[in-house]
Structures are given as C-alpha cells and as structure tokens.
Chains A and B, each alone.
Chain A
C-alpha cells in the first residue's frame, strides 16, 4: 500500500512545473492579442474590426457554455444571466473606479491607444487599462460565485428541471438588475467622488440600463481573453476533470458508481463556465459602452445555446466556428454573394481529404451538394423578389436547430475537434464520437 502511494507520487509532476503550465496560456494569449492589435487591427476596415470584437465575445460565451452543456451534459439556459452579473460588476467597477481614481467617467484608453498620449498616459498599459482588466476579472469572479449558487440546486435536479431553474435564475437576475437605482451621471462626478464605495457600486441604472461607460474593449483585450478561454477549456477537456465531466454526461449513475463525485464536478463545471461568461459580459459592456439587463434575457441565452448545439455538443473548435459563423451570418445574408462557388470548393476539399484518408462518405458529399443547390436556388429567388434574408435569420436558425436535432443530434462536430475529424477515432476516452447522452437513448 505504501509503495503504491509512493509510486503514484513519483508519477505526478513536480510542484514547480505547475508554474510554467499555468503561465503559458497567458503568454499565448498575450502573443495572439499583440498580433491582433498590431497586425490585424490596423489592416482591416473598421466595421470588420468591430465584427471581430463581437465574434470574440461570442466565442468566449459559446466555448464557456460548452463546458456545462457540452462536456457535463447539464442543460443551462441562463448563460446570459451569468454574463449580466459579470458585465454589471465589471461596468460598475470601471465606471465608478474611473470617477474615483481619475475624476472622470470617460477615462477610456484601451490598448489601441498605445501610440497616442491620451489622458491615460499612453504606453502599453495605461492607467485605465489595468482597472478595466481587473474589473473584467472581478466580474468573472462574481459570475463564478453566481454559478456556484446556481450549481447547488443541480445536486438535486437533472435534465429539464435544471434547465428551467437556470432559466429562472437568468430571469431573476434580469429583474433584480432592473430594480437597481439610477446611475450617477458623469457630470455629477464630483459628487460621486465623495460618496462611499458601497453605496455607489449598486447604482446600476435600473430599467434604463447602465450607460455612458468608458469603452476600453479592443481587439487586444478581447483576443487575450478569447485565447486564454480556448486554451483553458481545451486543456480542461483533456484533463481528469474533463473526463469526469464527460462521464457525467454519458451516464450520471454509472460515473457515480465509478467514484466520480458527481455533485462536485457539476458545480465545478458551472463555476468555470460562469467565470468566462462573466468576463465576456465585462468585455461586452465596455465594448458598446452600455449594458442593459433587458438585452440579456433568455433570448441571449438561446443564442449561446444555438452556437453550442450547432457547433457540436462538446467540441471547442465547433463552438468557436459556430460563434464566428453566427456572428457573421446576418451581415453575409444582407448581401448574399453566390453560394455555389463556396459549395463547390467545400465539395472539392472534402473529396480530396476523404480520398487522401481512403475513407469515403458518399452521403456527406450528396448532402453538401444538395444543400448548396437549395441555398443557391433560394438565394436567386430572394434576390429576384428583393427579400432581405437577414430578417429571416432567426427562422433559419430555428429550422437548423430542428433539422440538426433530427438528423445529426450531436451537432456538426460532436465532441470531436476540427482536426480530429479524420484522426483515429478512439485515441482518447474523450474523443469517442458518440451523440450526447446516447447511452440513455436507444435501449436494446
């Protein structure tokens, strides 16, 4: 017995090696953020840059929801509630912090003002930037606390009951936020500087929303958080915690019998997911310069769910792709270019890849060809009738959701990642391609 423990100790990595493993996501995030800021940002049109911001925030939301809905199989419908908690906390800290520290609510710098010498002093990290980053992190922590509270009932509830409780939580958050007192307007900053913190922080604007926030969010900050979220969630999926999550999803009772502390892991999934949703809320608030609880109701939660479901229940790259596509889709639909070239190109790529792997899927080729044909005909018809397809996108999403659930319930990618599509199927326990909860579905 003693020797077994010693053997296990010898196998576990040394304590000091935790530090580089913990730090490299941050380093990678910084690298990507600098790249986005210095190379991509200046070279794309302003509108595209704006869309990239929104897409980045959606990626964080979708990927974090994947941890709960995809990995753990707990159906959360209150993701926008966590986002609202984090967003409001971050907004409150940034707004009133700017007033308290710098005497002005509009102390916006953001990393894009690197070269400038604005009020925040220029330089790589101006004064306000650190406040903003800190507020996003605190917002994330607050949301994680809310996630802990919501995760607790999930000890007793499963499936659709939990879905309803999370939905109810989102609505309660919305109602409570709408009941907060009016915010202190920027032109009364001097007055606010006298008021103590605790009474100031709760003046969140109520039904009118929390407006006139400094807009710190830039490509730098968004992609720093996006990269960290992606790396953390990807590593989580392949860790022992991630395997526990997946086992709970496949069969709760069986994993309990195998010694997985189901309760603890469910709560943990909620806490992790809500942390990232909270940071996304902070980025969102300081991107548009306002946050309103009425925008973060269950429709926003549904949007996150659509991204997760379409991308694949448990696929990080799938959720990322779905977030990007669904963010861009309204813009693409507004002026839809011919779709057949893209369809043909996709067919060609699929044929080449399948041929190279000697694994032919004739059905997938036929489906892509048919979808391309239908889409092209539909596009021609709508163009001739002058119909703006962007108005029909919610109908399109809804139909996609229904068709997807009937024909391919695991989503586009299932639990696999993009690069695993043609890899060996069962390389890792987590990479087994099976629809979510399939074990409980078809009984013998």
Chain B
C-alpha cells in the first residue's frame, strides 16, 4: 500500500512537470500546427538559467543559510523572463520567415533550433559541459507523512506551483480578450486576421507564454532534484521533452486541458511501470502508449477528430 501511494504521489508530481511542458507544445501546435522540437531545450535552458541566476545572487555559496522564499520566487521570475525572451527571439528569427512554408520545413527548422540550443549550451562561454546542480532554494524537509509516504516541501511546491500556473493559463485562454484572440487564430489564422486580429503578435505572445511555462517547469525540476542529481546541458533533455510531447499527443494535441490530463497520465504510467514492471524499459512504456494512442485514437483522449478537406 505504501509503495502504491508513493508511486502515485511520484507519478503525479512528475506528471505536473510533464503537463507544464506539454502545455507549451500543445499551444504552439494549436496555433502553428507544428511540433516545436526546441521546446525541450527551452526547458533545459530553464534549469540552467535557474542555476546561473541563483549563482549570481550568491545562493548556495558555502555557509549560506537557506534563502528566504522571495529570493526563490525571484529566481523563478528571472528564469521565466529570460526563457520567454529566448522563445520570442527563436520565433521571430527562425519560425516567422517560414509562416507560409510546408509544415515539414518548419519541423526541420525546429530540429535545427533544438540542436543549436543544445550545442550552444554546452560551450564554455554559455553553461559549459560540466554537470552542476541547483542549490537548495526551499528547505527540503519532510512536511508530513501520509500512510508512510513522506511528502516533501519541494514536491508540494512543484504541485502547487504547477496548479497556480495552469489555472492562470486557463484564465488567460478562456477568460480574457487576448485568450479569445488566441483561440480565434488557432481556429483559423486567416479569418482571424481579417477580423482585425494581429496574428503575428498573438503567435509571438503564445510562444512567450509557452516557453515561460517550460522555464517554470525547468525551475521546478531543478528544485525537485536539486540536491540529488547534477544536471548537464546535453541531449538527455530531449528525452524528457519528448515524453512531454507524448503527453500532449495522448491528451489530444492543441487541447490545453488534454495536455494537463496527458501529462498526469504519462507521469503515472511511467512511474507505475517502473515500480511494478521493470525500470529498464522506462522510456519504452511512454512510447508504446504513444503508438497505441495514435493507432487507436489519433486525435488523443480529449481531442476532436478533423477530416482533411481537399
């Protein structure tokens, strides 16, 4: 029972991170109809920017006590702003010139951007090839224990933060004027621009919002695994990003609620597979689910099927 609860809890925590990243994929796909391969690298950038900004602020230096909460939030804010700026730049320089190009070309460009970010990040003048870890930003003690399962502060922070961001996004999309512009562009870009919506601006802002969510996920990831694992700036992130993408597809790509549901599903499947089957095939479960979903219900759990018109 304890193992079950523990697995459930871990799955939900990691699922929240997947959901945050999946939201970026799904928002970009909803509007531009292409897989933003560079999204996983923006997530990695989020981890690394948090480490760098925390370093600038002198957090984690020897003999320092755990910093107050507002400093951690400041790190998060700085990470989100820098990543948002990177997302804006990438969209402006690489994707906007291809607005009318075939989707495959945009996909190849996205692979190029992904490779570029990955390899730039490993250069010494950026983050360097050596692994580093995010210093402790929040006291990482156990908050309380439910039936033998320790609930750590960082886990609560991850879930709480993810919930706040998802709610904010939900409000942004369904309750604001900008949100309706976004949904209009996603429904039909040309008609939306005929109705006086500046489609380029909407797309830019969507990119910024998506990358900021990924950056927040990066920060939370760094915080969750802060003390345990060192992070490198290499292609391991692609795998995490791909799982998040799978989450977006499973939930129904282009559907914001589907991304959240898919993220949680993928997190749970992965952790239950590891706990009850075998940890060796960790990545295979996720992709097997992807292939099964694509074959049985290509539009995803919450997606709507579209018929291609000639």
Known interface pairs A394-B119, A395-B116; A436-B104 also in contact (CB < 8 Å): yes
Q: How far is the CA of A141 from the CA of B303 in the complex (A)?
A: 38
Q: How far is the CA of A243 from the CA of B202 in the complex (A)?
A: 41
Q: Are A163 and B107 in contact, with the CB atoms below 8 A?
A: yes
Q: How far is the CA of A104 from the CA of B87 in the complex (A)?
A: 57
Q: Are B115 and A401 in contact, with the CB atoms below 8 A?
A: yes
Contact of A156 among B108, B283, B295 (CB under 8 A): B295
Contact of A441 among B101, B114, B120, B242 (CB under 8 A): B101
Minimum C-beta distance from B75 to chain A (A) = 28
Q: Are B120 and A395 in contact, with the CB atoms below 8 A?
A: yes
Known interface pairs A161-B294, A165-B290, A168-B291; A409-B115 also in contact (CB < 8 Å): no
Total B residues in contact with A, Cβ cutoff 8 Å:
47
Q: How far is the CA of A44 from the CA of B294 in the complex (A)?
A: 51
Q: Is B98 an interface position by the 8 A CB rule? A: yes
Report A-chain residues with C-beta under 8 Å of the C-beta of B101. 405, 409, 441
Known interface pairs A161-B249, A398-B112, A402-B113; A172-B94 also in contact (CB < 8 Å): no
Q: Is B100 an interface position by the 8 A CB rule? A: yes
Interface segment, one of A126-134, A174-182, A213-221:
A174-182
Interface segment, one of A8-16, A298-306, A352-360, A367-375:
A298-306
Minimum C-beta distance from B32 to chain A (A) = 11
Q: Is B182 an interface position by the 8 A CB rule? A: no
Minimum C-beta distance from A162 to chain B (A) = 9
Q: Is A160 an interface position by the 8 A CB rule? A: yes
Known interface pairs A175-B284, A401-B108, A401-B111; A160-B103 also in contact (CB < 8 Å): yes
Minimum C-beta distance from A397 to chain B (A) = 7
Total A residues in contact with B, Cβ cutoff 8 Å:
46
Contact of B98 among A161, A299, A405 (CB under 8 A): A405
Contact of B109 among A153, A178, A397, A406 (CB under 8 A): A406
Q: Is A253 an interface position by the 8 A CB rule? A: yes
Q: Is A377 an interface position by the 8 A CB rule? A: no
Report B-chain residues with C-beta under 8 Å of the C-beta of A441. 100-102
Q: How far is the CA of A378 from the CA of B27 in the complex (A)?
A: 39
Chain B contacts with A in 190-228, Cβ cutoff 8 A: none
Q: Is B146 an interface position by the 8 A CB rule? A: no
Known interface pairs A405-B105, A437-B102; A171-B283 also in contact (CB < 8 Å): yes
Q: How far is the CA of A91 from the CA of B172 in the complex (A)?
A: 56
Report B-chain residues with C-beta under 8 Å of the C-beta of A398. 112-116, 119
Closest 3 CB pairs of A and B: A401-B112, A168-B287, A398-B116
Extra inter-chain contacts (13) besides given A171-B239, A401-B111, A436-B102, CB under 8 Å:
A73-B104, A75-B104, A156-B298, A160-B107, A167-B242, A172-B283, A175-B281, A176-B281, A392-B123, A395-B123, A398-B114, A399-B116, A440-B103
Can you list 7 A-B pairs, Cβ within 8 angstroms, ordered by A? A164-B290, A167-B242, A253-B310, A305-B108, A397-B115, A406-B98, A441-B102
Residues of A within 8 A of B (CB): 73, 75, 153, 156-157, 159-161, 163-165, 167-169, 171-172, 175-176, 178-179, 253, 297-299, 302, 305, 309, 392, 394-395, 397-402, 405-406, 409, 435-438, 440-442
